[in-house]
Structure 1
Amino acid sequence: MKLSELLAGQDHHTLQGDPEATRITTGMTFDADRVTPGSLFIAIPGHRDGGPGSIGAALARGAVAVLVDAGAPDPALPSEMCAVRVPEIRTAAAVVASRYYGEPGRGMDMVAITGTNGKTSVSYMIESVLRLAGGASVGVIGTAGSRIGDEPIPMPRSVLTTPESPDLQYLLGRMRDGGATGVVLEATSMALLTHRVDRAFIDVGVFTNLTQDHLDDHGTMENYRDAKLRLFKGLCRRAVVNADDPVGAEIQALMPGCVTTYGIDAAAADYRATDVTVDAGGTRFTLHHEGRKYPAAIPVPGRYSVANALATVAACHALGHDLGGLVAALDRMPPVPGRFERFRAPSGTSVIVDYAHSPDSLDQVLTTIRSFAPARVVTVFGCGGDRDTTKRAEMGEIAGTHSDLCVITSDNPRTEDPEAILDQITPGLAATGTPFERFTDRRRAIAFALYEAGPHDIVLIAGKGSEQHQIVGDELLPFSDMATVRELARA
């Protein structure tokens, strides 16, 4: 496709070469190491794998053109490369990528989910319910990777929860060409802030909740909220929002007449749950919508899981699917990997692996477990390195409040000293008086918890969920909480 066609209608200035004569034949990327002959290199200032300083490397790998940002200094440009300057490079990248892949979002039902907690669970639930209720083929893009149904789409490890716009549009194109009738994607706050979801043509934007997290990226809760709200400022046609969260009212004000609400406590919500009953096997409730009642059940314990189910049903119903069929499909959903994922050890100890890594999510999971725990609750958790330090003591206090024994350990320490992270968790935990042990080695921590737990105890391993690696320094080391549990249980 001609570079001039990709840039048509956008403000741009040609630095050298001829966009009309330059054809992009193999896609585009921000990462100089992923450039292939015939591709467009998008030189994002500050990008760890690219940027203006990598233009020469991109040319050596076969890039035929480069986009540069108006705010960046004039780069050193090889004479044989077509170069175009744009006012805001990330905005331009989203348009160019969408056009190159034929604007794939226009041809599918598109759902984007944002919020602090529940994004992955709701995305999996929407895919499962649409498949079970009507046999739909749905693509999923998020924390656990990208797939169409059960078929994964391989991507480099560096690809984010919400991929950069060239990768996102590539995935949408693959899903459209693979027969997907819809796509559900997780829209992180940083993805919305950096225009990754622009030009995805979202039909339904879902807001789950806003609680403390990612302050290392955003600085304040107000900035974090504003990043989430970008989804509802022109990026989606309709919204499904949690009426139990104050931000839900802000979204209603942003999109008058285009918002559907759900909730457990909010009596006026369009989709509401009452008669919530939780046990170890799951949750039962009554769903109310437009004066009708629907008995419902989900195979996951917890009020927060009911909220996720309401969001799922409301989003799918907004796409035009039959409500009765959607509700009937809820109790047949398969478990979401790493979200309240259960295992029973030969000793009888119950183990739950969950992604809970924020104060609110840890509190919700532990409150749910405590509501049906027959004996002690043993909690293994840590906090990620190079991330918000203000939540560490709070998470220690939450774990100690709801547990009989805590084992604090490394999550993804990244470049921080693991012992220093545990030191910051300890004051909140110690204040509760709950006994605890600390091991920077996560495997040792899990082994200790399993050894200490009795046959009727529940061990919660929180923080990493279905992640298959641990980030130590700049290395990705293979590690899975559930695989480790299964291996230790067999020993």
Structure 2
Amino acid sequence: MTLTLHDILHGVETTGSPADLDTPILGITYDSRQVRAGWLFVAIRGFHVDGHRYVGQAAAAGAAAVVVDARHWGGDPIDVPLISVADSRVALAPLAANFYQRPATGLRTIGITGTKGKSTTTDLVSQVIEGGGFSTGMISTVDFKVGPRRWPNSTRQSTPEAPEIQGLLREMADAGCAYAVIESTSHALSSRWNRLGGCMFDVAVFLNITHEHLDYHGSFAQYRADKARLFEMLGEGEKGEAWAITNADDPSHRHFLDAAPARARRLTFGVRAEADVRAHEVSAGPGGSALRVTTPWGEARLRLHLPGSFNVSNALAALSVALSQGIPLARAVAALEAVPGIRGRMQPVSLGQPFDVIVDYAHNPDSFEQVLGMLRPLTRGRIIAVFGSAGERDRAKRAVQGEIAGRYADLLVLTDEDPRGEDPAAIIAEIAEGAERAGKRSGDGYLCIPDRAEAIRAAMAAARPGDLVLLLGKGHEGNIIYAGGAIPWDEAESAREALRALGYS
């Protein structure tokens, strides 16, 4: 079915419309380089590039029509239909949803938001719902998934732009998926971006919130308000029962429940606070956790193969979603127990070695404090931490990361993360300054090995029975960025290669 400009503009308020609304539209993009004959180009003013400068280029490439932002458009007339809107970035989501024929109407959509744990919980929710017998699609920082097909998210964007989201939702609907599970960032939820408009959420999940991303949101109150938009959007499609699910351990959880429409059902989960879905008798180690869980649907014992107390909370969130969707408790628990790990998120790597190896994405001081602080009392032997810090990013955090790791770990192996255009040795030297403030000394307390594969081999060779080798910073990412470009990278596989070289299999 070929859609027309009239179809694409349905429900979008315009400040000026062309006469020819019967123009066929074959595609939609906000990137002038992707324009093909018959496509709609939506000009957006970004942080670094203003798409309005490329309207002429899009028209020359065969654009069938162009949408511009009334605040930023003052260009010369063009020979294709031109539509003016009050805010082209906000309009992009409904335009994309219309082009893909509103795929969320045929799916149960679940949004996961929080400062930490979104990727892990998104994956857990997808897996536990599949364990309940339903086909799912997934959009996360780590992977995209449509039914049985799964592939890495190589965009380095947790929540893609609206056309990519709607395109994936259309693939899910066409593939017969019953559910779409979407990692929902505060940037994507913000009314300034509106990437998640048209997703028609049926379930909203709040994990936690801390003082982060304030450079974008301006204040903690605005950051929280932007995240809470997920709950405000509940039930927009009126497809059935809507659920608002929150972490009762977080002081802000009531704010999120209150943001949901009155008709949405409420459900809480927690470890410390009174909650509908509650963990009891939690015992944890580097290899995972065991607990008893009580719910309105009964109680059960649960053994997770995911290390960390925060993963107990993430698992409770996933369990809550499954139960809200009618999946029996025993089946949901079995699905959670079958999860071997989430790629790049507290991911165990084992080839039979007598020490633990964990790959995690932690790459800032707060996550270092959380991960290392949690693992230190659970580790019988030494902690050997391998990490770096990104080039052309926040320099101030480098020494802080070194100092935090120096307090918790016995040996640091400082290496490349994404140096970009900076000197890798200079970045490592800044991390080392912090390590020395924590009492570490070169050659004993820390090693400087820029080549990350070599650094991982050195860490494995130094490990003794009972130790923990912790690989931080890269997680799921598929490359390391240098001045000359990106080189392919797989942190978990590099760990396996180092273990195989030591004779483990």
TM-score, normalised via structure 2 length: 0.88
Q: CA deviation at 1:104?
A: 1.0
User: How far apart in 1 are the matches of 2:314 and 2:323?
Assistant: 14
Percent of aligned pairs sharing the same letter: 37
Q: In structure 2, how many angstroms separate the alpha carbons of the residues matched to 1:9 and 1:139? A: 27
Give the CA deviation at 1:475: 3.1
Corresponding position of 1:261 = 268
Name the residue aligned to 1:89.
88
Q: Give the C-alpha shift of residue 216 in structure 1.
A: 4.9
Listed one character per residue, the Cα deviations across residues 79-110 of structure 1 (whole Å, up to 9, x for unaligned) are 2x111110011221111111111211121111
The aligned amino acid for 1:177 is: D
Structure 1 residues 475 and 296: alpha-carbon distance in aligned structure 2, compared to 1, 3 A threshold: same
Task: Decide which moves more: 285-294 or 414-423.
Answer: 414-423
Is the partner of 2:25 in helix, strand or coil?
A: coil
User: Which residue, 4, 7, 10 being the options, matches 2:9?
Assistant: 7
Following the alignment from structure 1 to structure 2, what is the Cα–Cα distance between the partners of residues 458 and 334? 18
Contact kept in structure 1, 2:159 and 2:185, CA below 8 Å: yes
1:188-210 deviations in whole A, cap 9, x for unaligned? Answer: 22211211011100111111122
- Per the TM alignment, residue 72 of structure 1 is displaced from its structure 2 partner at its CA by 0.8
Relative to structure 1, is the Cα distance of residues 195 and 172 closer, same or farther in structure 2, using a 3 angstrom cutoff? same
Looking at structure 2, the residues matched to 226 and 41 of structure 1 have their Cα atoms a distance apart, in angstroms, of 31
User: 1:431 matched to which residue of 2?
Assistant: 437
Measure how far apart 1:67 and its partner are: 0.8
CA positional deviation for 1:489: 3.2
Tell me how far apart the structure 1 counterparts of residues 213 and 450 of structure 2 sit (CA, whole Å): 23
Mark the CA change 1:420 to 1:121 in structure 2 (over 3 Å): closer, same or farther: same
Partner of 1:463: 473
Greater mean alpha carbon deviation, residues 4-13 or residues 343-352: 343-352
Aligned to 1:73: 73
Q: 1:112 touches 1:206 (CA, 8 Å); kept in 2?
A: yes
Give how far 1:171 is off. 0.5
Contact 2:381–2:468 (8 Å) recurs in 1: yes
Q: Is the 8 A contact 1:413 1:472 kept in 2?
A: yes
Instruction: Verify the 8 A CA contact 1:68 1:84 in the aligned structure 2.
Output: yes
Tell me by how many angstroms 1:158 deviates: 4.1
- Which position in structure 2 is the counterpart of 1:100? 99
Name the CA shift for 1:109/1:58 in 2 (closer, same or farther; >3 Å): same
Query: 2:331 maps to which residue?
Result: 325
Q: Is the 8 A contact 2:390 2:419 kept in 1?
A: yes
Deviates more, 1:111-120 or 1:253-262: 253-262
Secondary structure class of the residue paired with 1:276: strand
1:139-218 to 2 correspondence within 5 Å?
139-152=137-150, 157-158=154-155, 160-193=157-190, 194-218=193-217
Give 1:391 deviation, angstroms. Answer: 4.1
CA 1:243–1:346 in 2, change beyond 3 Å: closer, same or farther? closer
- Of 39-48 and 338-347, the range deviating more from structure 2: 338-347
- Paired residues of 2:122 and 2:183 also in contact (CA < 8 A): yes
Instruction: Return closer, same or farther for 1:425/1:232 CA change in 2, 3 Å cut-off.
Output: farther
SS in 1 for 2:144: strand
Distance 1:153 1:291, change over 3 A: closer
Which letter maps to 2:459? Answer: A
CA–CA distance in structure 2, aligned partners of residues 215 and 333 of structure 1? 34
CA distance in 1, matches of 2:277, 2:43: 45
2:63 aligned partner: 63
The separation in 2 between residues aligned to 1:449 and 1:402, in whole angstroms, is 16
Q: Which residue identity is paired with 2:172?
A: M
Q: Which amino acid aligns with 2:133?
A: G
Q: Is residue 109–residue 183 contact of structure 1 (8 Å, CA) maintained in 2?
A: yes
Whether the aligned pair in 2 keeps the contact of 1:400 and 1:406 (CA below 8 Å) is yes
- Answer whether contact 1:378 1:406 (CA < 8 A) is retained: yes
Give the RMSD, CA atoms, in angstroms.
Answer: 2.6
| Alignment-mate amino acid for residue 239 of structure 1 | A
Distance 1:212 1:431 in 2: 25
Instruction: Give 1:256 deviation, angstroms.
Output: 6.8
**What is aligned with 2:23?**
22
| C-alpha displacement of 1:460 | 0.4
Contiguous gaps of at least 5 residues in structure 2: 236-241
For 1:137, the equivalent position in structure 2 comes to 135
Deviations 1:156-192 (A, max 9, x none): x547321100110011001100110001011122211
Give TM-score scaled by structure 1 length.
Answer: 0.90
Provide closer, same or farther for how the CA distance between residues 256 and 34 of structure 1 changes in structure 2, counting only shifts above 3 A: closer
Residue 482 of structure 1 aligns to a residue whose secondary structure is helix
Q: Which residue of the partner structure matches residue 289 of structure 1? A: 295
Residue from 296, 313, 316 that aligns with 1:310: 316
Q: 1:42 is matched with which residue?
A: 42
Verify the 8 A CA contact 1:216 1:388 in the aligned structure 2.
no
CA distance in 2, matches of 1:190, 1:45: 16
Using a 3 Å threshold, how does the CA distance of structure 1 residues 382 and 219 change in structure 2: closer, same or farther? farther
Q: 1:70 to 1:415 in 2, by over 3 A?
A: farther
Shift of 1:41: 0.8
Distance (Å, rounded) in 1 between the aligned partners of 2:211 and 2:389: 13
Alignment of 1:330-409 (within 5 A): 330-344=336-350, 348-389=354-395, 391-409=397-415
For residue 112 of structure 1, report the CA deviation from its aligned partner: 1.0
AA in 1 matched with 2:301: P
Specify the code of the residue in structure 2 equivalent to 1:45: R
Displacement of 1:389 after TM fit?
Answer: 4.7
Contact map agreement 2:411 2:446 (CA 8 A) in 1: yes
Residue 425 to residue 246, structure 1, CA distance change in 2 (3 Å): farther
Amino acid at match of 2:74: D
Deviations 1:295-334 (A, max 9, x none): 1121112211110010001122223322332123221123
Aligned with residue 444 of structure 1, among 433, 454, 460 = 454
Show the counterpart of 1:487.
497
Cα distance in 1, alignment partners of residues 221 and 425 from structure 2: 31
User: Unaligned stretches of 5+ in structure 1?
Assistant: none
Asked whether the equivalents of residues 108 and 181 of structure 1 are also in contact (C-alpha less than 8 Å), the reply is: yes
Q: Given the alignment of the two structures, is residue 109 of structure 1 paired with residue 108 of structure 2, yes or no? A: yes
1:385 Cα deviation (Å)?
A: 3.6
Number of residue pairs aligned between Structure 1 and Structure 2: 485
Deviates more, 1:426-435 or 1:475-484: 426-435
Contact kept, 8 Å, 1:32 with 1:49, in 2: the verdict is no
What SS does the corresponding residue of 2:24 show, helix, strand or coil? coil
Give CA deviations for 1:129-177 in whole Å, capped at 9, x if unaligned: 1112x2211001111231124313688x547321100110011001100
The match for 1:244 is 249
